[in-house]
Structure 1
Amino acid sequence: MTRVCLIGNPDCTLQYELLSRETSREALATYDLTRPFENSLAVRTVSVGAAVSLLNDLDWYLTRFVDEALVLEPSVSDEEWLSRPLARALRNGAVDPEDTGEFCKVYGLERVGEPNSSSDTEPNSSGDERPRSSADAGRESSGDDGRESNRDDASADADSGGEEAKPADAFGVAGQTHRLVEPLYVRRTDGELPEYDLRDVGETLVVRLTETEYSS
């Protein structure tokens, strides 16, 4: 399964901005939503083509509320994410999977609070998360004119998978305790990436870029 992860702008609450508006909420309605990092939303799609199509459907919202749109395609890498432009180039056949790894940026993963009392797990470099839940946003919506809907109408249905339901926020999206910080732009040499040295962090997240993104 191909994963999509949206990292929100620091000045907004991403899940509210996306799930309180009818068009974006409907685009996400068929997916189980997770939040692997602070102020993020992630879904699993069937292919890189489906991932790119979903991002295209959400383009208006990505421009306004999203800092990063990332795609994790297992046929390319199980741990290193693709930027949206690189995922699009891969979908269009403009780049081969083995040629995607030269230009990268590496984020530090910084802890922002204590772990959830209901879960002892933490995200790794691929953004794996627990607990997982499905989101059923409220029936009322402002549409796309920017007016907010009533958050109290949002409901949460836990995707327990046979396990006890985990705590979730108003939209049924479980939070995590790490955020992406201070990217380091690097170039892979002889199959190796330079070490992340901008902050003292325990883990990192690698995003593969197009050459244009790397150079800009």
Structure 2
Amino acid sequence: MTRVCLVGSPDVSLQYELLSRETSREALSTYDLDRPFENSLAVRTVSLGAAVSLCNDLQWYLVRFVDEVLIQEPSVSDEEWLSRDLAVALRNGDLEPAETGEHLKIFGVERPEAPGLENQSDDAREPDGRQLAADTRNDESENGGDEQATDADSRTGPAQALVQAGDGVEPVGPPKLVEPLYVRRTDGETPTYDLRDVEETLIVRLTESEFSP
């Protein structure tokens, strides 16, 4: 299955923005939602074409609330991601999988340092996606289904600071993508990420036109 991950802009709560608006919520309603990174939302689709179509359906929201659109296609790589433009080129047959992987953007991956609630980011205090969807449906019924979202802060209080994890609670938020490094892979060798001291990285394959060394 092809995975789509949307990483929100720093000044917005992406889950809230997407799930508090009827059109985007309906587009996502058939998927199981995940949050692999801070201020992100991810789903699994049946194919690369379905992943590109979902992004097209969400275009209005992507322009306003999303910094990165990442797509992971198993037929290309089980570990590396594709930019949206590269995914479209593969879907359209303009490129073959073997022709990708030279131009890269590498993100550092930082994990939360402390489990205390006082050290969590605002995103880690987001309400649960399904509960938020239910809350906003009730709001829209009362307000005539207005697409305009209300202030996300009004929904995030101390009682919602813990992320549910099965029967218990998990006080630590997901990892954060930081400072991308643009590199070129040569002879199968990937340059080392050196912008920060991180233990993990995430590699995104780009089109040549997106690459900026």
Same fold (TM over 0.5): yes
Query: What's the counterpart of residue 150 of structure 2?
Result: 148
Please identify the structure whose Cα radius of gyration is greater. Answer: 2
1:112 Cα deviation (Å)? 2.8
Query: What's the counterpart of residue 16 of structure 2?
Result: 16
1:91 Cα deviation (Å)? 0.5
C-alpha distance 98-37 of structure 1, shift in aligned 2 (>3 A): same
Query: What's the counterpart of residue 96 of structure 1?
Result: 96
1:145 Cα deviation (Å)? 4.4
Query: What's the counterpart of residue 186 of structure 1?
Result: 183
What is the distance in 1 between the residues matched to 2:56 and 2:108? 27
What is the SS of the residue equivalent to 1:86? helix
Query: What's the counterpart of residue 210 of structure 1?
Result: 207
Query: What's the counterpart of residue 30 of structure 2?
Result: 30
Aligned length: 187
Asked whether the 8 Å contact 2:114–2:172 carries over to 1, the reply is no
1:15-34 deviations in Å (ceiling 9; x for gaps): 00000000000000000001
Query: Structure 1: which 4+ aligned runs deviate by more than 2 Å?
Result: 112-116, 133-136, 140-152, 163-168, 174-177
TM-score by length of 2: 0.79
1:179-206 deviations in Å (ceiling 9; x for gaps): 0000000001001110000100000000
C-alpha distance 26-149 of structure 1, shift in aligned 2 (>3 A): farther
Aligned partner of 1:191: which letter? G
Identity percentage of aligned residues: 65
1:92 Cα deviation (Å)? 0.5
What is the distance in 1 between the residues matched to 2:5 and 2:75? 17
Aligned partner of 1:70: which letter? L
Query: What's the counterpart of residue 106 of structure 1?
Result: 106
**When you count helix as a share of all residues, which structure comes out higher?**
2
1:111 Cα deviation (Å)? 1.8
Asked whether the 8 Å contact 1:20–1:149 carries over to 2, the reply is no
1:114-133 deviations in Å (ceiling 9; x for gaps): 469xxxxxxxxxxxxxxxx9
What is the SS of the residue equivalent to 2:211? helix
1:100 Cα deviation (Å)? 1.1
Asked whether the 8 Å contact 1:81–1:208 carries over to 2, the reply is yes
